[in-house]
Amino acid sequence: MKYADLHVHTFYSDSTFSPEEVVACAKDKGLSAVAICDHDSTEGIEPCIRAARQLNIEIIPGIEFTVEKSDVEIHILGYFMDYKTDWLQKKLAAIRKARIERLSKMVSKLNDKGIPVKVADVLSIAGKGTVGRLHLAQTMFRTKKIRTIQEAFDKYIGFMKPCYVANVRFSPQEAIGAILKTGGVPVLAHPHIMGRDEYIPDLINYGLRGIEVYHTDHKPSVAKHYEALAKDFGLLITGGSDCHGLGKGRVLLGGVRVPYTVVEKLKEEAQRIRKEQNRPS
């Protein structure tokens, strides 16, 4: 039976893994397909496709958008988008630039709290990647002012914490709309982390087509809850490890996997969406 991990990052966002390392790890884990879902970037997709050709691994083009609604941060995954579209790439470039501006503001707040981090050090860790809070947390850890990466989020840079700065460039409606416009399938990432199930109907009204039921941070009881919720709303069920290489302390790739039939359903949904987009108004 074929399996896929539908939520994997490369060092083009906040993973420590290169595209080649992602593909090699996927092969080692016995996966047939991997979805590359970097934050606000599609730069890792083509290198992964090239690396995967000789290893018979299917690379699924994806992305992960971070948006906010009221009092909560929401992550939206997009699968099988026409990611080379010019307007999308211009938007992503603007978002990545805004992320650096956001980083500067968070660094200033952290310095005021006695955490001696520098923007240049964070950017050095980020390298080619879209700079994010995990890079900042890794830099904070090096100062020995915090004991763990998670402490950085829990005390300082997590959503609505003292040194948090919003990075709003897409609303949930705009993010879902952008994915649909490029023929992709929008899916709500790790809904348990969002923790606001009451917002899901709004996301569905915007065009949400699926829920990431299976995730590293979803216990079996949580997965069962979201599986039932997805069925109630008629949404696709997906799953992925959310692997960031060693960025979260251990390699998660392949730890959450779904049958390849899930990929086939995503492909069918993408075809339906593209037909809808091509309908005359």
Banded model confidence at residue 42, pLDDT cuts 50, 70, 90: very high
pLDDT of residue 249: 76
Banded pLDDT at 169 (limits 50, 70, 90): low
Pairing relationship of beta strands 210-215 and 185-188 according to DSSP bridges: parallel
Q: Which of 30-34, 49-53, 213-217, 244-248 has the lowest mean pLDDT?
A: 244-248
State pLDDT tens for residues 213-222. 999 999 999 9
Predicted confidence band of residue 157 (pLDDT cuts 50, 70, 90) = very high
Tokens of 163: 């040194």
Give the C-alpha separation, 90 to 203, whole Å. 25
Longest Cα separation, the chain: 59
Query: What is the C-alpha separation between 99 and 224, in angstroms, rounded?
Result: 35
- pLDDT-wise least confident of 17-21, 65-69, 116-120: 65-69
- Residue 76: pLDDT above 60? yes
Record the tokens describing residue 1, joined without a space: 């039976």
What pLDDT, in 10s, does the model give residues 181-194? 999 999 999 999 99
Q: What is the rounded CA–CA span in Å between residue 174 and residue 70?
A: 15
User: What is the mean pLDDT of the segment spanning 70-82?
Assistant: 92
Least confident of 35-39, 156-160, 217-221: 156-160
Beta bridge partners of 74: 67
Of 221, 240, 188, which is closest to residue 76 (Cα–Cα)? 188
Rounded CA separation 250/252 (Å): 6
Q: How far is CA 10 from CA 55, 200, 243, 264, in A?
A: 18, 28, 9, 23
Which class does domain 92-157 fall in?
mainly alpha
Cβ atoms 59, 48 nearer than 8 A: yes
Q: Answer whether residue 247 shows pLDDT above 80.
A: no
pTM reported for the whole predicted model: 0.88
71: pLDDT confidence band, cut at 50, 70 and 90?
Answer: confident
Average pLDDT, the chain: 93
Distance CA 178, CA 9 (A): 20
Lowest mean pLDDT among 13-27, 112-126, 242-256: 242-256
How far is residue 175's CA from residue 78's CA, in Å, rounded to a whole number?
9
Strands 210-215, 33-36: pairing kind:
unpaired
Strand partners, 186: 78
Helix, coil or strand: residue 239: strand
With contact defined as beta carbons under 8 Å apart, do 253 and 243 qualify?
Answer: yes
> Residue 9: is its pLDDT beyond 80?
yes
Contact (CB, 8 A) for 56 and 157? no
Q: What is the pLDDT of residue 279?
A: 54
H helix intervals, 58-184: 86-112, 119-126, 133-142, 149-152, 172-181
Identify the pLDDT of residue 48: 98
Q: What is the pLDDT of residues 109-154, one digit of tens each?
A: 999 999 999 999 999 998 888 888 989 999 999 999 999 999 999 9
Superfamily of 3-91+168-277 according to CATH = Metal-dependent hydrolases (3.20.20.140)
pLDDT recorded at residue 168? 63
Tokens of 269: 């949904």
What does the domain layout of the chain look like in residue ranges?
Answer: 3-91+168-277, 92-157
> Could you tell me which residue, 149 or 68, shows the higher pLDDT?
149
